[in-house]
Amino acid sequence: MRNVAIVGDGGHGKVIRELINARPDTRLTAVLDDKFRSFEAGKEWCTGPPEAISEVRRLVPDVLFLIAIGNNSVRKQLAERLGLKKEDFITLIHPTAIVSKSAVIGEGSVIMAGAIIQADARIGAHCIINTGAVAEHDNQISDYVHLSPRVTLSGAVVVQEGAHVGIGASVIPQLTIGAWSTVGAGSAVIRSIPDRVTAAGAPARIISSIQT
């Protein structure tokens, strides 16, 4: 049994808690969030601010961590703020997800219910592959990416760091979604998307730039 502490107690955190409960080999031991001002050892799990990592480790020495924040940039900020090592993070895969044996999933990433990861796909660190999303063969997905529910990436798509592909969007083969860009819900991407823009529509067109 692996003990898991999550950082984040919002909507995404609720789903992660259920994912942990759905697995027979994981147990939730702590929920850390900025809304908790002090560390408390509860009956079901501990609570406290994100900086309470040392307190959690004193109670559960073998605990692993996962950042349960849906916002990609906030997830990256927290990963840097916590100062944990790669081996301190757990990768979680829902029992109903289908993941190829040749796929590689990075630390701190989550593969949600009904998602499919095909042959030789590479998923980076701290990614969210959400409910029913499909990452086809040879996809290259960088760190801090979020594929929303029912996203479909065809073969050999590259998604660069921090990109967010909205619910139900589709991407044809061998395209690139640029770093920290957003693809709107239901979009059909037939051309590569550059860095730091919002693209939407069918076919998807750039509608704005994203300021740093």
Cα separation of the two ends of the chain:
41
Binding residues for acetyl-CoA: 146, 167
Positions at the binding site: 70, 146, 167
Binding-site residues for substrate, in ranges, read 70
Question: Is the separation of the CB atoms in 206 and 199 below 8 Å?
Answer: yes
For residue 65, give the nearest of 81, 86, 49, 36 by alpha carbon: 86
Residue by residue, DSSP assigns 62-80 as T-EEEE--S-HHHHHHHHH
Q: Is 137 a catalytic residue?
A: yes
- Sole residue written with tokens 């059909």: 188
Q: Dihedral of CA 122/99/155/130: which sign?
A: negative
Q: Which of 12, 94, 126, 137 is catalytic?
A: 137
Q: Which residues are catalytic?
A: 137
